Amino acid sequence: MKLTNIIEKEYDNLQNNTLDKIDVTTATDIVSDIFFEWYQQFSKILDEKLLHGGIILYGMITLGDDIAKNCIKNISYTTEEITKFSLRLEEIEKRKLTYFKDIGIFLSSIIANNYNKKNAEKYLLFTQDITTKINYIGFKNSAHMVICGNVGHDLGINMNSGSITVTGNAATNTGSELLNGIIHIYGNCEGNVGENMKGGEIIVDSKSGSIVGSRMQGGKITIKGNTHDYVGEKSTGGQINLLGEWNKAFMQSCEGDAEIYHRGKREYLRKKFEIK
């Protein structure tokens, strides 16, 4: 069975089930305990760095990842305990933690650690009960992840393989630097989809904001709903499929070499983009 079919089957299963049917009764709160230890260290260092001039985005992600790896070293936990932690996000959100929106770094790390050790079939996360959109979920992901609800920006950044399915909407920068694997958004993406992606596939079932496939080098993007402008800008490869409405007029100001198809018809950018 193809990976895309597996994802669709999993989504159908989720639609036909309720939270009451997901058994986390035997799961402990160990992941929550690890989280609060991680957050204490992460927030302290970030506060200090922001006080002395700030920190670049990727530096913040790798910092959080390194702290998480240290916190979970030699600690064992199950996929159900990861799911149970996600069900506690509504409770944690009420604490109004300054960097709550960035805990996708932590989620990515604990999933990667568990997957590397146990190679679990899938990881199930719930975000539908929180108002905050969690950023950076799926950083360097290789696992198969299903997220019930909405997500923040930079979903699947630097993703290596595996799959991420989101039943809700995603913010900006979905699939940035994607290397391989599949990202499937059943809702909308706010924009800047697949920037600098090198492989893999991104599927958006509804609409996308401006900027699709900017600087993409390979892989495939499919937007089933409407999109706006700047499609394939400065791309050197890859394929972009647009099935909805599109502001084609902006093609005259874009240069790139991705294969662009609008409802099956090949479209061409103003000229090929060459790296100087």
What digits encode the pLDDT tens for the residues 42-51?
999 998 887 6
- pLDDT number for residue 269: 74
Identify which of 194, 191, 234, 238 has the alpha carbon closest to the alpha carbon of residue 215: 234
Q: Which of 54-68, 137-151, 176-190, 233-247 has the lowest mean pLDDT?
A: 54-68
- Give mean pLDDT, residues 30-51: 92
pLDDT tens figures, 85-136: 999 999 999 999 999 999 999 999 999 999 998 878 899 999 999 999 999 9
- Give mean pLDDT, residues 70-94: 94
- Give mean pLDDT, residues 226-238: 91
- Give mean pLDDT, residues 236-252: 86
Q: Residue 225: is its pLDDT beyond 60?
A: yes
- pLDDT number for residue 237: 95
145 touches 121 (CB < 8 A): no
Higher pLDDT, 201 or 55: 201
What one-character-per-residue DSSP string does the chain give? --HHHHHHHHHHHHHT--GGGS--TT--SHHHHHHHHHHHHHHHHHHHHHHTT---HHHHHHHHHHHHHHHTTT----HHHHHHHHHTHHHHHTT--TTGGGTHHHHHHHHHHHHHHH--S-EEEE-TT-SS----TTTT--SEEEEES-B-SSTTTT--SSEEEESS-B-S-TTTT--SSEEEESS-B-S-BTTT--SSEEEESS-B-S-BSTT--SSEEEE-S---S-BSTT--S-EEEE-S---GGGGGG-B--SEEEETTEEE--SB-----
Indicate the pLDDT class of residue 76, thresholds 50, 70 and 90: very high
190 touches 209 (CB < 8 A): yes
As a whole number of angstroms, the distance between CA 221 and CA 239 comes to: 6
- pLDDT number for residue 199: 98
